[in-house]
DNA sequence: AACTTTTTCAACCGCTCCCCA
DNA sequence: GTGGGGAGCGGTTGAAAAAGT
């Protein structure tokens, strides 16, 4: 269609966000809710394009984002989900409460790819690789980077915890996905549960979309991972506890059991997601 | 201590999808 | 049916930090 860029680049800030900009964006969304990204910067008094605002909010400022170490459980879940879905980061992120697609994508590229290679697995196909002589040096590198990473994450987590204890604001949490028609599962269905392949329920972020909330089979109003539809709620309550993650993981393990016996079913599931 | 290389991850870019007039 | 606009996604980039020499 040949459309213009989302914003005129002239006169707009780019690059790292300043604390003042973060504060303006957070305050605006706290007061008015999400959505209308294109016009949001102007209304919030920000010299940023809407896309940039959305990204900043989604990947960094959102109060339900979990920071800190990716746990072994999450690690494993990401790998398994990737083997099913490929680089569908938003779908994978939707299964891992509190993590963003960007974070998972970065984590995959910087850690899990190496990890899988070290284990002799092709990170793209998830199939066994032939023995690699460079394996040992990779292992050493990984050890180094993990050490560093651990340190960084510990620091950022403590900072985040401090920030969150200061925040505790009320926001209108977004729908995690687009509203879609009955006939298709959206490209990004971050609320989709493994048990709800046939009962996709879309949640809406804007009041307009809320009115259109779709529930295909009258079930799954409250998504089983606790991330279905959000109204106004205390942000801190959205941060998933260990139990939630456990639940997601157990659900996944159930699917894997099915996989053992019914490879075909699993293929169908993956195809249904990718359709 | 100084310089180079590697790693990390926030942010950007370009594209597609979906809705609506 | 068509095109424009908003939103979201995945790939890529580049600055900063860390590690290596």
Nucleotide nearest to A86 in CA–C1' terms: C10
DSSP single-letter state for residue A12: -
Give the per-residue pLDDT at A171. 38
CA→C1' distance for A135 and C21 (Å): 22
Per-residue pLDDT of chain A (275 residues; tens, 9 = 90+): 323 344 445 677 888 888 888 888 888 888 888 878 888 888 888 888 888 888 888 888 888 887 777 888 888 888 888 888 888 888 888 888 888 888 888 888 888 888 887 777 777 777 777 654 444 444 444 444 454 444 454 545 454 454 444 444 333 333 333 333 333 333 434 444 444 333 333 333 333 333 333 333 333 333 333 333 333 333 333 444 556 556 666 665 665 455 445 445 545 555 555 54
**pLDDT value for A75:** 84
**A254 Cβ contacts chain B strand, under 7 Å:** no
Distance in Å from C7's C1' to A134's CA comes to 43
Contacts of A116 (CB under 8 A, 6+ apart): A79, A122, A123, A126
**CA–C1' gap, A48 and C10, in angstroms:** 22
Q: Structurally, what CATH architecture does the domain formed by A72-171 represent? A: Orthogonal Bundle (1.10)
Q: Which pLDDT score, from 0 to 100, does residue A194 have?
A: 40
Q: Identify the pLDDT of residue A247.
A: 66
Phi first, then psi: what are they for A139, rounded to 5°?
-60, -45
Q: What pLDDT sits at residue A192?
A: 40
The C1' atom of B7 and the CA atom of A25 lie apart, in whole Å, by 30
The closest nt to A88, taking CA to C1', is: C10
- Rounded to an integer, what distance in angstroms lies between the CA atom of residue A199 and that of residue A257? 21
| Protein residue minimizing CA–C1' distance to B7 | A145
Please tell me the predicted confidence (pLDDT) of residue A4.
38
CA atom of A237 to C1′ atom of C10, Å: 30
Q: Which nucleotide is nearest to A105 (CA to C1')?
A: C10
Distance measured from the CA of protein residue A187 to the C1' of nucleotide B15, in angstroms: 14
Whole-model pTM: value is 0.63
Nucleic strand C under 7 Å from the C-beta of A212: no
> Regarding the domain delimited by A19-61, which CATH topology (the fold level of the hierarchy) does it fall under?
Arc Repressor Mutant, subunit A (1.10.10)
Rounded to whole angstroms, the Cα distance separating A112 from A73 reads 13
What is the C-alpha to C-alpha distance for residues A105 and A85, in angstroms, rounded to an integer?
13
- At A270 the pLDDT is 56
Residue A248, pLDDT score: 60
Q: Would you list the domain boundaries of chain A?
A: 19-61, 72-171
What is the pLDDT at residue A268? 58
Residues in contact with A97: Cβ distance below 8 Å, sequence separation at least 6, in sequence order = A66, A225, A226, A227, A239, A240, A244, A245, A248
Look at residue A245 in the predicted model and tell me its pLDDT: 58
Task: Decide whether A19-61 matches A72-171 in CATH topology.
Answer: yes
Smallest CA–C1' separation from A40, nucleotide: C6
Q: Nearest nt to A55, CA vs C1'?
A: B11
């Amino acid at each position: 269609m040949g459309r213009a860029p989302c914003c005129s680049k002239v006169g707009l800030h780019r690059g790292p966000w300043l604390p003042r900009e973060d504060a303006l964006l957070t305050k605006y969304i706290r007061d008015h809710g999400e959505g209308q990204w294109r016009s949001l910067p102007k209304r919030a008094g920000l010299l940023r394009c809407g896309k940039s605002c959305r990204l900043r909010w989604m990947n960094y400022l959102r109060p339900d984002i979990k920071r800190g170490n990716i746990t072994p459980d999450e690690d494993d879940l990401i790998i398994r989900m990737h083997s099913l879905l490929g680089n569908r980061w938003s779908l994978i992120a939707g299964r891992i409460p509190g993590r963003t697609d960007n974070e998972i994508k970065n984590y995959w590229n910087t850690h899990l790819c190496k990890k899988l290679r070290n284990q002799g697995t092709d990170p793209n196909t998830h199939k066994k690789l032939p023995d690699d002589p460079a394996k040992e040096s990779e292992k050493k590198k990984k050890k180094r980077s993990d050490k560093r990473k651990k340190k960084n994450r510990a620091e950022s987590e403590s900072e985040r915890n401090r920030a969150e204890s200061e925040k505790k604001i009320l926001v209108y949490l977004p729908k995690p996905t687009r509203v879609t028609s009955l006939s298709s599962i959206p490209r990004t269905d971050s609320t989709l549960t493994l048990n709800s392949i046939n009962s996709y329920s879309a949640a809406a972020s804007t009041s307009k979309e809320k009115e259109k909330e779709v529930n295909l089979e009258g079930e799954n109003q409250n998504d089983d991972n606790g991330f279905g539809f959000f109204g106004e709620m205390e942000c801190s309550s959205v941060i998933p506890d260990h139990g939630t993650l456990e639940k997601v993981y157990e659900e996944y393990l159930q699917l894997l059991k099915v996989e053992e016996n019914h490879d075909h079913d699993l293929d169908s599931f993956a195809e249904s997601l990718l359709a």
